[in-house]
Amino acid sequence: MNFDAYARTGVDLVNARLDDLDDLRVLFPDENAWMRDEVAERDLAIFRRAQKRLRDVFEYGTSGRDAQAVAELNSMLEAFPVQPRISGHDSSDWHMHVTSRGASVSAEYLAGAAWGLSVWLCEYGSARFGVCADERCGNVYLDTSSNCCRRFCSERCATRSHVAAHRARKRAAVGEQVTVAAQATAEPAPLTPVS
C-alpha cells in the first residue's frame, strides 16, 4: 500500500471546502471515479466531522503535542478500520481497496486517510504535520523538507507572506526616516530669560 498517497488524501480532505456534495466530489481523484457516483448525503456529515478531527491532528503535531496527535489518529483508526480487498470496477483493473465490499464512500476514503497519516507519523514524526503560517490560509501540509523548516502550505502562500513582510519593513523604515527628519527640523525651544 502506498501510504504516502493515502496520507495525502487526508491533507486534501482537511483543506477541502465541504459545503455540499459537489465540493466532496471534487475531492475524489480520477482513479476513484466510483466515489463520485456513489457518495451520498449521509457521507457529507461523516466527512465534515472527520475533517475537523484530522485538522486537530495537524494542530497537535505543529504545536508539539505529539501524544495527542497519536491518540487522535488511533481513535480514527478504530472508527475507520482498514480491511484490504482486491477490487475491479468496469474493466479488470485489479487494485486494492481498504474496506470491505459494500462499504460507504466515507468509510473507504477515511480508512485510507487515517491509515496513511498514521504511517506517515510513525515514519517521519508528528512535528512534520504543519498548518500554514499565513493566517488567512489555514491549509495543512506534510513537511517533506530536508531540514523540517517548512512554514507554508504552498509556494503561493510563502511568496505572498514574504511580499507582505517586505512591504511592512519598508513602511517601518519610511516611518523611521520621517520621524528622524521631523526631529532634525524641530527648532529647540528658545530659552526664556528668568526674571
List residues binding Zn ion (CB under 5 A).
87, 132, 134, 137, 139, 153, 157
Nearer to Zn ion, 97 or 117 (CB): 97
- Shortest reach from residue 161's CB to Zn ion, in Å: 8
Dihedral of alpha carbons 47, 51, 52, 57, sign: positive
- Shortest reach from residue 38's CB to Zn ion, in Å: 11
CA distances from 102 to 42, 59, 85 (A): 15, 33, 11
- Shortest reach from residue 123's CB to Zn ion, in Å: 24
Nearer to Zn ion, 14 or 153 (CB): 153
Nearer to Zn ion, 63 or 87 (CB): 87
Nearer to Zn ion, 32 or 68 (CB): 32
Question: Which amino acid would we find at residue 164?
Answer: A
Nearer to Zn ion, 68 or 160 (CB): 160
Which DSSP string do the residues of 29-93 spell out, in sequence order?
Answer: -GGGHHHHHH--HHHHHHHHHHHHHHHHHHHHHHTT-HHHHHHHHHHHHHHS----EEE--SS--
Task: Name residues whose C-beta falls within 8 Å of residue 37's C-beta, 6 or more positions apart in sequence.
Answer: none
CB 97 within 8 A of CB 109: no
Compute the distance between CA of residue 22 and CA of residue 192 in angstroms, rounded to an integer. 79
Compute the distance between CA of residue 192 and CA of residue 175 in angstroms, rounded to an integer. 33
- Shortest reach from residue 134's CB to Zn ion, in Å: 5
- Shortest reach from residue 95's CB to Zn ion, in Å: 6
- Shortest reach from residue 103's CB to Zn ion, in Å: 11
| Residue corresponding to grid cell 488524501 | 9
Nearer to Zn ion, 37 or 187 (CB): 37
